Structure 1
Amino acid sequence: MPVRCRALILGLAGMLLVTPAPAEMRGHGGPVRALAISPDGRLAMSGSFDQSAILWALGEGAALAVLRFHEGAVNAVAALPDGRFATGGEDGRIALWRGAAPDPERVIEGHTGPVVALAVSPDGTRLGSAAWDGTARVHPLAGGEARVLAGHQGNVNAVGFLPDGRAVTGGYDLTLRVWPEEPGTEAVSVTLPSPVNAVAAAPDGEIAAAGADGIVRLLDPGLRVRAEVETQGTPVIALALAPDGTRLAAANVRGSVSLIDRAAARIALTLVGPGLPVWSVAFSPDGSELLTGGSDRLVRRWNARTGEHLGPVVIAAVPDLLAGLQGSRGAQVFRACAACHTLTPDGGNRAGPTLHGIFGRRIASVKGYNFSPALQGMDIVWTPETVSALFEIGPSRYTPGTKMPEQTISDPADREALVRFLADATTGR
């Protein structure tokens, strides 16, 4: 082979070797609720409202495995020091995964409500979980009984660990709590101005707490507030701390991510996506890259130092199934349901089953969706009357044992508008 040809082939091979990974990782059928990156930076795992977790090879931006185990949304993901991942689900269970194996290596039970946050202790020996049963738990990863942290008055939304191993939790009851290592000792707590949605603990012991009021508060281990950082004025859903502790990523429902200089307590950069809620954020181990997951069903990649999106941001995102229906009262009521349910024949299941063809369908009969056992024995056929009754008295009373979040529609006119909208939108007309 001529030298010139060999040089051309080698040059092309080199170009292939350095081709950047895709800037967007696609695969979920619902909003990406949780993200974590392995300690070596090679793998990531995402969890979604579509009831699945996906294991990604970050170098290629490719999915290695779609993991289905949880009965309901996968709300939380954590990377363990030994390369495994943990997922927490709406079903109250925690699953430990090794590689791309199709089944969990271990399942941890105990919570009686959805698990919504996970965190690994600094020494890598314990896994913290926060749940909507009003408790947090600390699980020894080597096995053994979990320590139950009880005291919050309502849903516990967040969990983390201080450098000395003490657990930190935040809840809907507006309190942030630090739990002593000794069981039976009361936690130190502070009441904040709004519900706590996420927490992160820095290597120096400072705690960041993100609120439903859109403010990230920085507190010392004694829970004294050092600074407050206003983000976009809308609820902050998720927090991530850079490995070196210098920066915080705060994701909000408006669709942007604030990169906060922690020492200066100010926003250094704002990452702007397609305008849909960002549910999850995770820094790479070297702090150079940030992953975000949102309602557009994508995992996006960003340069964490410059704020540059790695690839074009498609502002159109996914098609808005409610576009053109802004004047419809029923469509506006349905927007609260759109994260969990699709309407079209090809929409598929998310955290909840597709609603296409709902009227005249027996409860718990959609193929491919894992329904709560309690629903499978019920004798309910969905009609305008039964759907209206569901939202009049609430899912927990009308369909006991459901995985559906508790919600009611008190206004009869709103219930009627929703039913009319579903009758039209789910029939394909």
Structure 2
Amino acid sequence: MRIRLPLVGLPLVGPALVGLIAALALGSPARAQMRGHGGPVRALAVTQDGRLAISGGFDQAAIVWGLDTGTALSVLRFHEGAVNAVAVLPDGRFASASEDGRIALWRLGGAEPERVLDSHSGPVAGLAVAPDGTALASAAWDGTARIWPLTGGAARILTGHKGNVNAVAFLPDGRPVTAGADATVRIWPRDGDAAVTVTVPSAVSALAVTRDGEIAAAGADATVRFLSPEGAIRGALELGSAPVIALAAAPDGARLAAATAGGTVAVIERAAPRVLFSLVGPGLPVWSVAWRADARGEVNELVTGGGDRLVRRWNAATGAPIGPLAMPRPADALAAFAGDRGAEVFGACVACHSLNPNEGPRAGPTLAGLFGRRIATVPDYRYSDALKRMDIVWTPETVARLFEVGPARYTPGTRMPEQTINRAEDREALVRFLEKATATP
């Protein structure tokens, strides 16, 4: 079923936006689980007043939600890769950052970004807003972090990490903090290049900074470490065996939420430190987490995004899900092809590609009507420029060749994960299945 988003494109800013959200809240019940992304929800941020959230997905889209109603207010499509990070800017704008190396600044209701920051040469993995609201920081897999003045001008480039920079944050005094695959946390001066470097036992994927300046860092070894603003390690808390993917500090600084690849979110009392309770969902990775305050500023909810493609709300005091925990899963697109070897091969593709034209794009474009279609021509899907320049028409022969040599060789510049099908019989079975499953009336 197509998700209808009737508010997309409306020029809603300032009092008009507030009025609309209030009207929606009166007119329909809130949905505690929000469905709209076509792939895992990779990133989340919530406005200070708790009324809006922005999410980023593996489907290359960002969505602005009205949390009081669970309504998608705007779908932001610009990026040519997964949206790995999002941020709320103090002037009411939103930022999205992607695997395509670009950062887009949006005004709700705008069909295109107001500004694009595009000097990174690798995927952007993290964003953070300076405490005074004047700058946006980005962490990228080109080995750098950058500090972008929001009023314009050149970015400050932070170099020194040996490999991917996965996360970035700001201390209350405005100093940037970065962390990366080189198992270091680096605390940078407000000006200059001499960072304080703290080495930890494994790669760091996530950072959070509390209001008093303590740094929480976590990653591959499933341990959250607490560092002073000067880099001294105060303590550590092991959370199990699943890597920590995301961290978020509560606005009051007393608690921390740690999301894991195992599908749980640990709510941590920071002073001890100890786990107060865990949010336990469907068992799929939880990629993103954020705290939500009510109109009085009291933090009463957690918002999470995960591998089930949903944005979920939870009671921050008890860990109980708000609304039903389980939602009906989409119909199994392959159920009608039980026993078909080609359908079994396609099982690795179904997370990224739909077969039904009404479902629209996921992380990749729909395959409905595939054969006879020129490459990079599905409407409303953003392809890389490299694919747009190719002269390929999808036929049984070209699809088979794609999986014989792999996407990187056959379609250079694609963002499709590299995969090959070694057995000719399996390639033939896949093609026969696609001929049946993608045919449109």
In the superposition, relative to structure 1, how do residues 257 and 201 fare at CA in structure 2: closer, same or farther (>3 Å)? same
Runs of 4+ in 1 over 6 A off after TM superposition: 322-336
Normalised to the residue count of structure 1, the TM-score between the two structures is: 0.84
Q: Which residue of 2 aligns with 1:352?
A: 364
Corresponding residue pairs, total? 410
The Cα shift of 1:292 comes to 0.9
Give the letter aligned to residue 186 of structure 1.
Answer: A
1:245 aligns with 2:250: no
C-alpha separation in 2, matches of 1:225 and 1:324: 56
Using the aligned pairs only, state the percent identity.
Answer: 61
C-alpha separation in 2, matches of 1:220 and 1:320: 49
Asked if the contact 1:55–1:100 (Cα under 8 Å) also holds between the matched residues in 2, the reply is: no
1:204 aligns with 2:212: yes
Please point out which of 98, 119, 122 is paired with 2:131.
122
Q: For structure 2, which runs of at least 5 residues remain unmatched after alignment?
A: 1-24
Q: Which residue of 1 aligns with 2:46?
A: 37
C-alpha separation in 1, matches of 2:377 and 2:334: 25
The Cα shift of 1:357 comes to 5.6
The Cα shift of 1:355 comes to 3.9
Q: Which residue of 2 aligns with 1:4?
A: none
Give the letter aligned to residue 50 of structure 1.
Answer: D
Asked if the contact 1:296–1:318 (Cα under 8 Å) also holds between the matched residues in 2, the reply is: no
In the superposition, relative to structure 1, how do residues 178 and 332 fare at CA in structure 2: closer, same or farther (>3 Å)? farther
1:239-282 alpha-carbon deviations (Å, 9 max, x no partner):
11111111111112222211111111221111112222222111
Taking the TM superposition and a 5 Å limit, the aligned residue runs for 1:145-224 are 145-183=154-192, 185-224=193-232
Please point out which of 361, 375, 378 is paired with 2:390.
378
Q: Which residue of 2 aligns with 1:306?
A: 318
In the superposition, relative to structure 1, how do residues 84 and 428 fare at CA in structure 2: closer, same or farther (>3 Å)? same
Asked if the contact 1:160–1:169 (Cα under 8 Å) also holds between the matched residues in 2, the reply is: yes
Taking the TM superposition and a 5 Å limit, the aligned residue runs for 1:201-350 are 201-285=209-293, 286-314=298-326, 317-319=329-331, 337-350=349-362
The Cα shift of 1:149 comes to 1.3
1:57 aligns with 2:69: no
What RMSD in Å do the two structures reach over aligned CA positions?
Answer: 3.1
Taking the TM superposition and a 5 Å limit, the aligned residue runs for 1:397-416 are 397-405=409-417, 407-408=418-419, 412=422
Secondary structure class of the residue paired with 2:287? strand
C-alpha separation in 1, matches of 2:290 and 2:44: 6
C-alpha separation in 2, matches of 1:331 and 1:152: 43
Asked if the contact 1:246–1:262 (Cα under 8 Å) also holds between the matched residues in 2, the reply is: yes
C-alpha separation in 2, matches of 1:325 and 1:218: 51
Q: Which residue of 1 aligns with 2:102?
A: 93
Secondary structure class of the residue paired with 1:427? helix
C-alpha separation in 2, matches of 1:326 and 1:179: 56
Q: Which residue of 1 aligns with 2:436?
A: 427
C-alpha separation in 1, matches of 2:371 and 2:78: 29
Instruction: Name which of structure 1's ranges 321-330 and 75-84 shifts more when overlaid on structure 2.
Output: 321-330
The Cα shift of 1:95 comes to 1.6
In the superposition, relative to structure 1, how do residues 401 and 354 fare at CA in structure 2: closer, same or farther (>3 Å)? same
C-alpha separation in 2, matches of 1:269 and 1:319: 33
Asked if the contact 1:356–1:426 (Cα under 8 Å) also holds between the matched residues in 2, the reply is: no
Secondary structure class of the residue paired with 2:437? coil
Normalised to the residue count of structure 2, the TM-score between the two structures is: 0.82
Q: Which residue of 2 aligns with 1:76?
A: 85
Asked if the contact 2:262–2:284 (Cα under 8 Å) also holds between the matched residues in 1, the reply is: yes
Asked if the contact 1:344–1:426 (Cα under 8 Å) also holds between the matched residues in 2, the reply is: no
In the superposition, relative to structure 1, how do residues 338 and 172 fare at CA in structure 2: closer, same or farther (>3 Å)? farther
Instruction: Name which of structure 1's ranges 303-312 and 211-220 shifts more when overlaid on structure 2.
Output: 211-220
In the superposition, relative to structure 1, how do residues 425 and 312 fare at CA in structure 2: closer, same or farther (>3 Å)? farther
Asked if the contact 1:362–1:380 (Cα under 8 Å) also holds between the matched residues in 2, the reply is: yes
Please point out which of 339, 359, 377 is paired with 1:365.
377
The Cα shift of 1:293 comes to 1.2
1:336-374 alpha-carbon deviations (Å, 9 max, x no partner):
655433344444212222345656654323333221111
In the superposition, relative to structure 1, how do residues 140 and 190 fare at CA in structure 2: closer, same or farther (>3 Å)? same
In the superposition, relative to structure 1, how do residues 150 and 359 fare at CA in structure 2: closer, same or farther (>3 Å)? farther
Instruction: Name which of structure 1's ranges 216-225 and 125-134 shifts more when overlaid on structure 2.
Output: 216-225
Asked if the contact 2:189–2:195 (Cα under 8 Å) also holds between the matched residues in 1, the reply is: yes
Give the letter aligned to residue 245 of structure 1.
Answer: G
1:127-153 alpha-carbon deviations (Å, 9 max, x no partner):
111122222111111111101112222
Instruction: Name which of structure 1's ranges 280-289 and 353-362 shifts more when overlaid on structure 2.
Output: 353-362
C-alpha separation in 1, matches of 2:182 and 2:321: 36
Asked if the contact 1:23–1:311 (Cα under 8 Å) also holds between the matched residues in 2, the reply is: yes
Please point out which of 28, 42, 47 is paired with 2:37.
28
Q: Which residue of 2 aligns with 1:110?
A: 119
C-alpha separation in 1, matches of 2:317 and 2:374: 52
Secondary structure class of the residue paired with 1:88? strand
In the superposition, relative to structure 1, how do residues 100 and 198 fare at CA in structure 2: closer, same or farther (>3 Å)? same
Secondary structure class of the residue paired with 1:229? strand
In the superposition, relative to structure 1, how do residues 18 and 324 fare at CA in structure 2: closer, same or farther (>3 Å)? closer
C-alpha separation in 2, matches of 1:196 and 1:121: 21
In the superposition, relative to structure 1, how do residues 19 and 390 fare at CA in structure 2: closer, same or farther (>3 Å)? closer
1:359-398 alpha-carbon deviations (Å, 9 max, x no partner):
6654323333221111122234556776676567664444
The Cα shift of 1:61 comes to 2.2
C-alpha separation in 2, matches of 1:238 and 1:330: 37
1:258-314 alpha-carbon deviations (Å, 9 max, x no partner):
111111122111111222222211111432111111222221111111111110111
